[in-house]
Chain A
Amino acid sequence: MRHRGVLLASFVLVVAGCTLPRRAGLFARTPMAARPIAGNTVAVLPPVTVGNEAAPAMVAARASALVFSGDIAGVHFAALQPTVAKLQEKPDIFPAITRAVASGLPSGFGPAGATTKIFDSNMVAGVKRERRQIITLRQITQSQPLGPARLDAELLAPLGCDYALVSVPFGAYEQQSHIGALYGAIPLAGSKQLISLTPRGVYLLYDCKSGEKVWESAIGALPVAREAITMSDRSLPVLGAAYLLTGDIETPLGRLLDGGFGTDRAR
């Protein structure tokens, strides 16, 4: 009898685990609300790597290739691979863009603002998914400028598009030192811990004709649970960028889920 009970409990737990909604949270600081008008073409550049860790850019590149693999809300995204081919023909362009954007990044930004639910359904892009997808967003519009106000138009002209999307995904780390004080008055113990903050990235949109920055956002994943950062977590800033840029969450989310993100537990 006891074995049956254990089996039944395990079955219930497994079924519950499979059917629990998948919750994902985003936060963003988007000081410029302008969006590319539907019908224009946006070149998605390969993610700029800052620091020594490659994983944030690797996962962001995979996620970008999926998310921006076609039109979203009437905005045409030029695929990553043809853009890389154009950059290979002019090898000075990407290092120059990297130097320009990497120097003006914010040292740190975190969640702020009210939370809104931007998606809640088990039907994503016309396909019924195993788990209901719930996505929330905390956003504020105040922020210091995130990248250079303009890039040299000659750098962007060879891309042959109306706009260029530059992304800088990165991992952020914090060393927290704690002094424990009884009633805040008697310090008795101390500790140090090195923690990884959730994945985040800076997204900048430039007008290829004038070189002017027309949109920018600092986007991160909200900590949903205290567990290892997964590949899916690392793809969330890309999803946020697609949503904030086009106003459509379902199309990019469907592409990520179809591409295997959102189901893995790989770190």
Chain B
Amino acid sequence: MPRWEIAAVLALMSVAAGCSHYHGAYELDSGLRQQVRGDLAVAGVLDRRSGEESTVPCARGTAALARRAGAPDVSGRLDASEVALLLSGPAQLSLNAPQLAALRDRLGHRYVVVGEEGREPVTHVLFWDVFVVVPTPWVIVWWNFPVPVSRRNAVPHATRILRVVDLGTATVVGESYELLRDRPDGGEFSDGEVRGGLSAMSLN
């Protein structure tokens, strides 16, 4: 095979590497893990793939979460708006601290794990990578010049979120955030994804 063809193949192999999804984690503090495991309940999973305001309980995801977390399922004692409150931002949680304290008394658990199959807008950028390949007798040299050619804002992607909420302090103490390459209808929880999410938060 001519050397320039080898060089071209090598160069293009470097383009092919890529991640299919992003998995970010906010781990539980090491001093808190044992305490959380001992006083944890499963509050449920919401299916919000049709939009952020949706509060549809997801029985399949909740069952997977209860199985993998090894914690009692208290989703039947919460209505969807209470689960939605647990999934709201940290500021909303701290502003609703009295309501969360009442929830703690009702459920008898200080920590709850809650999940969401949702959607998130992502910017799409298309690059035209100009590869300049220079084969020499001893070494193959190439340069890659990525040129952005188009940009689309707010393309919806699927997300899978697990969050541990401390009802005592009205704070989020751990989060697993997975952003998928799929469109929103692809982000369902299965046992494997729940296990990965709990592990990312150091809750396994």
Contacts and interface: CB of A to CB of B under 8 A. Distances in A.
Interface of A: 45-49, 51-55, 57-59, 61, 84, 87-88, 91, 94-95, 98, 107-108, 171-184, 188-196, 229, 266-267
Interface residues of B, number: 62
Given A58-B172, A174-B125, A188-B12, A53 B95 contact: no
Interface string B139-177: 000001110000001110101010100000001100101
Main secondary structure, interface of B, reads strand
B24 A55 contact: yes
Contacts of B92: 49, 94-95
Interface stretch (B34-42, B59-67, B71-79, B114-122): B114-122
A interface majority secondary structure:
mixed
B161 to A, nearest CB: 6
Nearest to B202: A266
Interface stretch (B15-23, B101-109, B188-196): B15-23
6 contacts: A49-B89, A52-B87, A173-B22, A179-B128, A183-B132, A192-B20
Nearest to A48: B91
Contacts of A58: 26, 90, 171-172, 175
Contacts of A192: 18, 20, 181
A233 to B, nearest CB: 12
B179 A57 contact: no
B136 interface: no
Given A54-B175, A194-B122, A229-B24, A175 B181 contact: yes
Nearest to A53: B177
B3 to A, nearest CB: 14
Nearest to A84: B94
Contact of B129 (A46, A173, A181): A181
